[in-house]
Structure 1
Amino acid sequence: MTDIDCYHEQLQRDAQFLCSDQRMDTELVDRLVLQLNRIYPQILSDKEAHKFRNLSIPTEVRLAELLKHLYGKGDEACHEFYRGLHIHADDIYSSLPTRVKQRETADSKWTNSVAVYPERFVLNDRGPLFFLSCFSFVVGIAMLYYYGEGETLRCTGPFLHCSAARLSKGAKDVLITYAEVGKQKN
């Protein structure tokens, strides 16, 4: 439904549905007529309200005449009828063909304009072999430093200090302690 469509046109489209819907019973039609008469007497006068509340005429006929009368009164009268229907029978109001079409149009516009991206909670997409190779490398360096003797392994001290930067506090303390002990041995 666009903004160009008015309540006058909507009532014309919904009239058949309203007249055939079983939920539009005598009580609901009377409430709508009374609301239009009491709140908007310029739309429905006392004489007209009495005519539309006459119980000797079947409800379907009275409703069809009421809709025809409101259609003849113009857009404001149709708007007030929809407002009353929304207040007194929201389930009927929401199932009107024009409302259903309006919701479908709004839903299709909304789904086309919003891209849905599935959430991914992946810390590392390289896989378990990459993790094992990195872990093995770090364990190898640590073992070389801890068990290694000689001048060639002295260069691993600065490397271990830099490696400790991204570790937790406990692991960092252990790694730096090993580096300091290695310097004191030499």
Structure 2
Amino acid sequence: MVSLLTWTDSFHDQLTEDSAFLRADLRLDTELVDKVILQLNRIYPQILSDKEATKFRNLDVPTSVRLSELLAHLQGRGEEACREFYRALHLHVEEVYYSLPTRLRLRDSLDPLAYPRVCKQRYVLNDRGPVFFLGCFSVTVGMALLYYYSEAKVAGGSRALGMAALGLKKKAQEVLIWYTEETLMK
């Protein structure tokens, strides 16, 4: 289950959540992974020693495997290592950094004016669908045509109008039957 990320979540938690995305993202090729490893090794040797950097830069191992091992290693190192990984990712692979699931949620939750939430509301008058609407519309048009053409033939059209009232609600039924009785009396 994916938890909702807030600004108080640790970088370790964020990296745990982003790991699957990072492993699956094809934009992280060998060159970019090497840049991130070198950034961590040169600037923060306490996070990634020379021996570890050499291990993660081994070109005999596929990039996806090296990246998985690097992420697991950084998670084992703790909060500071995870934070520095995000910093290195931001410096060298900005488009991947901004497309991380945790970054997207953070951006949306922290700045509602710059990125307003799109609430797609569906205005439904009924849940029966378009066929039901077309059926009701056809019945209404049929009744209107019947009424319009029955002006000349008062008796036949009024009976049909009275019969049409059978499927309507009580108030509409009373009005149509009253109208039919009035026209038959004339």
Class of the TM-score when normalised by the shorter of the 2 chains: 0.5 to 0.7
| Identity across the alignment (%) | 60
After superposition, residues 1-186 of structure 1 pair within 5 angstroms as 1-108=5-112
CA distance in 1, matches of 2:107, 2:8: 16
* 1:24–1:68 Cα change, 3 Å: same
* SS at structure 2 position matched to 1:13: helix
Give how far 1:105 is off: 1.4
* In structure 2, C-alpha distance between the alignment counterparts of 1:3 and 1:101, rounded to whole Å: 10
Encode CA deviations 1:153-174: one digit per residue, 9 max, x unaligned: xxxxxxxxxxxxxxxxxxxxxx
The superposition leaves residues 62-116 of structure 1 with CA deviations (integer Å, 9 ceiling, x where unpaired) of: 000000000000000000000000000111000000001111212447759xxxx
Given that 2:7 and 2:106 are in contact with CA atoms closer than 8 Å, whether structure 1 keeps it comes out as: no
Question: Hey, what's the Cα distance between the residues in 1 that align with 2:34 and 2:57?
Answer: 6
Q: Is the 8 A contact 2:32 2:92 kept in 1?
A: yes
What are the Cα deviations for residues 35-86 of structure 1, in whole angstroms up to 9, with x where unaligned?
1111100000111000000000000000000000000000000000000000
Opposite residue 36 of structure 1, the aligned amino acid is L
Distance 1:86 1:3 in 2: 17
Letter in 2 for 1:102: L
Residues 38-47 or 101-110, more deviating:
101-110
TM-score, structure 1 as length reference: 0.57
**Matches of 1:2 and 1:74 in 2, distance apart?**
19
Looking at structure 2, the residues matched to 3 and 21 of structure 1 have their Cα atoms a distance apart, in angstroms, of: 24
State the shift of 1:4 in Å: 2.1
Show structure 2 runs of 5+ residues with no match: 118-186
Check the 8 A contact 2:41/2:50 in 1, yes or no: yes
Q: Distance in 1 between matches of 2:86 and 2:44?
A: 13
Q: Greater helix share, 1 or 2? A: 1
Query: How far apart, in 1, do the equivalents of 2:6 and 2:17 lie?
Result: 14
Unmatched 5+ stretches in structure 1:
113-186
AA at the equivalent of 1:31: K
Q: Which residue of 2 aligns with 1:131?
A: none
